[in-house]
């Protein structure tokens, strides 16, 4: 975590010196210090800090007020309160204003390390997820289709903009993904493609649309489940689990897919085309 830049806000030069030592030991880079609320706000406006430590008593205000002002200008600022005062009322105030964690002085090195790790763990995990989920879902759907349908399987990216909607081809299945960060997987195909695939897999030409729905439901379940297992294998902390599928069928369904960070794919098979969308939404760090 050597690249994380920190500003220490504290009215005591002694406390600043102590905290600076500890933060450096935690592997952080202390690039600024402020003794007053005014100075802290000015510096926060003009610089980018990965973390700000905040004392609760400042000569020209308090840590709550100071944090509120900073968060007005820097919405995603990570503020860690470090103060000798710590009671339920002030913790609640800190939480309400948007402070991410609270430590009481004197702080020990282990506590500080653990707190910093928790603060940044969510970000790191989210990055691993965003770097890897596309491959996981592509690999998962590819191996299922290759194994069950065979023939040539081509996966193409299907770029969508952030406000996209998509017209369903006929049957759409969504599966919710729940874990450290939450998400969703949608697989969509026409009645015909779904029936074709069901016939092929069951080796029986006589298939009803209900069988096709049951197939698509299970297909989506396996694709999403396998992809989540691959991701969980990268880091146990994801703890991704899938909810049961919900199937939507109709001639005129529009799916809203632009609401979370997601990627869409067009998968071409000998039995028809499949559309897949998968994505995740960042869940904030829990308060400790």
Partner 1 sequence: MALKMIKPFIDAVTDVLPQLGFECVTQNGLTTKRKKIVASGVVITLGIVGDKKGNVVYSTSKEGAKKIASIMMMGMPVEELDDMAKSALSELSNMLTANAGINFSNEGITVDISVPTLMYGEDIELSMNKDEIICAEFDVDGIKLEISVALD
Question: Nearest approach, Cβ of 245 to partner 1 (angstroms)?
Answer: 6
The Cα–Cα gap between 99 and 92 comes to 10
3 state DSSP class of 287: coil
Question: Nearest approach, Cβ of 167 to partner 1 (angstroms)?
Answer: 9
Q: Are 106 and 188 in contact (CB under 8 A)?
A: no
Give the CA radius of gyration of the chain. 25
Phi, psi of 198 (to 5 degrees): -60, -45
DSSP 114-143: HHHHHHHHHHHHHHHHHHHHHHHHHHHHHH
Q: Which is nearer to partner 1, 61 or 176 (CB)?
A: 176
The Cα–Cα gap between 139 and 151 comes to 16
Question: Nearest approach, Cβ of 218 to partner 1 (angstroms)?
Answer: 10
Q: Which is nearer to partner 1, 237 or 270 (CB)?
A: 237
Question: Nearest approach, Cβ of 259 to partner 1 (angstroms)?
Answer: 6
**Of 107, 104, 145, residue with least CA distance to 265:** 145
Q: Which is nearer to partner 1, 63 or 183 (CB)?
A: 183
- Burial state string for 241-273 with b = 16 or more CB within 10 A and e = fewer than 16: ebeebeeebeeeeebebbeebbbbbebebebbe
The Cα–Cα gap between 83 and 107 comes to 9
Q: Which is nearer to partner 1, 3 or 256 (CB)?
A: 256
Q: Which is nearer to partner 1, 2 or 250 (CB)?
A: 250
Q: Is the peptide bond before 106 cis (omega within 30 degrees of 0)?
A: yes
Question: Nearest approach, Cβ of 265 to partner 1 (angstroms)?
Answer: 17
Question: Nearest approach, Cβ of 247 to partner 1 (angstroms)?
Answer: 4
Q: Which is nearer to partner 1, 81 or 257 (CB)?
A: 257
Contacting positions for partner 1 (CB under 8 A): 163, 168, 172, 174-178, 182-184, 186, 213, 217, 241-256, 258-260, 281
Give every CB contact of residue 87 below 8 A, 6+ residues apart in sequence. Answer: none
The Cα–Cα gap between 147 and 150 comes to 6
Q: Which is nearer to partner 1, 100 or 184 (CB)?
A: 184
Q: Are 4 and 121 in contact (CB under 8 A)?
A: no
Question: Nearest approach, Cβ of 190 to partner 1 (angstroms)?
Answer: 15
């Amino acid at each position: 975590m050597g690249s994380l830049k920190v500003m220490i806000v504290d009215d005591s030069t002694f406390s600043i010196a102590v905290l600076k030592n500890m933060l450096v030991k935690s592997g952080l880079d202390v690039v600024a210090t402020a003794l007053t609320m005014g100075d802290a706000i000015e510096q926060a406006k003009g610089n980018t800090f990965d973390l700000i430590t905040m004392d609760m008593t400042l000569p020209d205000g308090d840590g709550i007020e100071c944090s509120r002002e900073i968060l007005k200008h820097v919405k995603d600022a990570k503020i860690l309160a470090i103060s000798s005062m710590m009671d339920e009322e002030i913790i609640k105030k800190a939480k309400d204003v948007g402070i991410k964690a609270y430590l009481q002085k004197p702080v020990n090195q282990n506590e500080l390390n653990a707190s910093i790790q928790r603060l940044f763990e969510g970000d790191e995990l989210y990055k691993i997820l965003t770097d890897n989920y596309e491959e996981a879902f592509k690999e998962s759907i590819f191996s299922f289709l290759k194994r069950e349908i065979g023939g040539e399987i081509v996966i193409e990216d299907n770029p969508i903009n952030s406000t996209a909607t998509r017209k369903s081809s006929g049957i759409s299945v969504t599966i919710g993904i729940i874990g450290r960060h939450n998400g969703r997987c949608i697989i969509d195909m026409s009645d015909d493609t779904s029936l074709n695939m069901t016939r092929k897999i069951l080796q029986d030409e006589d298939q009803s649309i209900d069988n096709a729905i049951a197939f698509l439901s299970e297909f989506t379940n396996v694709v999403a489940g396998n992809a989540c297992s691959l991701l969980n294998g990268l880091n146990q902390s994801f703890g991704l689990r899938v909810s049961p599928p919900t199937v939507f069928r109709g001639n005129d369904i529009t799916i809203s897919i632009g609401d979370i960070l997601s990627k869409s794919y067009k998968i071409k098979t000998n039995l028809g085309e499949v559309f897949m969308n998968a994505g995740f939404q960042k869940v904030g760090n829990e308060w400790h």
